[in-house]
Amino acid sequence: MLILGIETSCDETAAAVVEDGRRVLSSVVATQFESHAQYGGVVPEIAARRHLENLLPVLQGALDQAGVTLKDVDGLAVTQGPGLIGALVIGMAVAKVLSYTLKKPLAGVHHLQAHILAAFLTENPPALPLVALVVSGGHTNLYRVNSFLKMDLLGRSRDDAAGEAFDKVAKLMQLGYPGGVKVEALAARGNPAAFSLPRPRIATEPLTFSFSGLKTAVALQLKRHPEILADPGAQADLAASFQEAVVESLTSRAWLALKQTGLNRLVVCGGVAANGHLRQVLRDLAATAGTELFLPTLDLCGDNAAMVAALGFHLLAAGQRLDLDADVFSRG
């Protein structure tokens, strides 16, 4: 079964063709970061306008790359939320028109749950159930994935998301946008033990994340010691210490969730899962603990439509079609 996926929840316009929720025939992503870089973050109105310009060429590109036409597609999948409303409605409008005119079923996909499916786009996908940690720009969520249709939220961030913390720290350190990759590159040259930064915990909610205090601690260091920004060594040390604190916060809760659920299978996905240091620490911990670890390939960590098509396949196979009057949602 061929599913055409569409993703426009934030600042990537993406389309993909995926077979049986597993085999990626094409995945095209048009990033907009150049349109937002001068503002230091995503501007919702600009994102929506770029989606409007990019979506049809991106869709055509995905069909061409897969060597198929719209007639060959068996169903459609579109991100319904969470995300920027103005951005989501562009993808939703196009998906509804295609579904209506082609008379093909449409699935409405939850963006964060779709990130988890990126780990299944491989020859050897994980078995279920498992624990999944979604680490993106807007969310840091831990799930118990019982099936593709039933994912229970175990924990989330009470304030900033991990990716947001990377972006804000990059801004504080004047590294530019998008921040994650820049902080990672700088951190690679630094000493992660150079600065002692907080790793906030809430005793009564051990699976809840919190990253705003960490960002504030970095801001305070820079306020007290502005000379750090002029010292490449100290700057790298601060970036490495920040990155280490994020990685420790993520991994400690992931393994606590495995312990609490009695599971031994972990997926870590979302934009921050592209971080090389995080991937290495996860692999080391998994090897020591004997945990089965599944990380999406780098190109499928960030936003893409292959993961949307993959989850859409399972929804449609279970008969979960989206009504054509259904709306997008910003939170959830």
Positions that interact with Zn ion (CB under 5 A): 136, 303
Q: Is 105 in the site for ligand KG4 (CB under 6 A)?
A: no
Query: Minimal distance in Å, beta carbon 309 to ligand KG4?
Result: 16
Q: Is 303 in the site for ligand KG4 (CB under 6 A)?
A: yes
Among 53-61, 132-140, 248-256, 285-293, the segment contacting ligand KG4 (CB under 6 A): 132-140
Q: Is 163 in the site for ligand KG4 (CB under 6 A)?
A: yes
Q: Within 155-231, where are the H helices?
A: 162-172, 179-187, 212-224
Closest CB to Zn ion: residue number: 136
Q: Is 129 in the site for ligand KG4 (CB under 6 A)?
A: no
Residue placing its CB nearer to Zn ion in the complex, 244 or 303: 303
Among 21, 75, 108, 271, binds ligand KG4 (CB under 6 A): 271
The one-letter amino acid code at 180 reads: G
Could you give the CA distance from residue 1 to residue 72 in angstroms, rounded to a whole number? 9
The one-letter amino acid code at 234 reads: A
Instruction: Work out the burial of residue 100: count CB atoms within 10 Å of its CB; fewer than 13 is exposed, 13-18 middle, 19 or more buried.
Output: exposed
Residue placing its CB nearer to ligand KG4 in the complex, 21 or 178: 178
Neighbours of 314 (CB within 10 A): 21
Q: Is 167 in the site for ligand KG4 (CB under 6 A)?
A: yes
Q: Is 179 in the site for ligand KG4 (CB under 6 A)?
A: yes
Could you give the CA distance from residue 122 to residue 320 in angstroms, rounded to a whole number? 24
The number of angstroms, rounded, from the C-alpha of 124 to the middle of its chain's C-alpha atoms is 21
CA torsion 289→293→297→300, rounded to 10°?
Answer: -120
163 makes contact, choosing from Zn ion, ligand KG4, none, with CB < 5 to 8 Å by partner type, with: ligand KG4
Query: Minimal distance in Å, beta carbon 136 to Zn ion?
Result: 4
Could you give the CA distance from residue 257 to residue 144 in angstroms, rounded to a whole number? 8
Q: Is 270 in the site for ligand KG4 (CB under 6 A)?
A: yes
190 makes contact, choosing from ligand KG4, Zn ion, none, with CB < 5 to 8 Å by partner type, with: none
Strands (E), 255-321: 265-269, 292-294
Neighbours of 60 (CB within 10 A): 13
Among 5, 21, 108, 137, binds ligand KG4 (CB under 6 A): 137
User: Is the Cβ–Cβ distance between 311 and 148 less than 8 Å?
Assistant: yes
Q: Which two tokens stand for residue 259?
A: 């312990």
Q: Is 272 in the site for ligand KG4 (CB under 6 A)?
A: yes
75 makes contact, choosing from ligand KG4, Zn ion, none, with CB < 5 to 8 Å by partner type, with: none
Residue located via tokens 């103005």: 86
Among 79, 141, 275, 291, binds ligand KG4 (CB under 6 A): 275
Which residues of the shown chain bind ligand KG4 in the complex (CB under 6 A)? 10, 136-138, 163-164, 166-167, 178-181, 184, 270-272, 274-275, 302-303
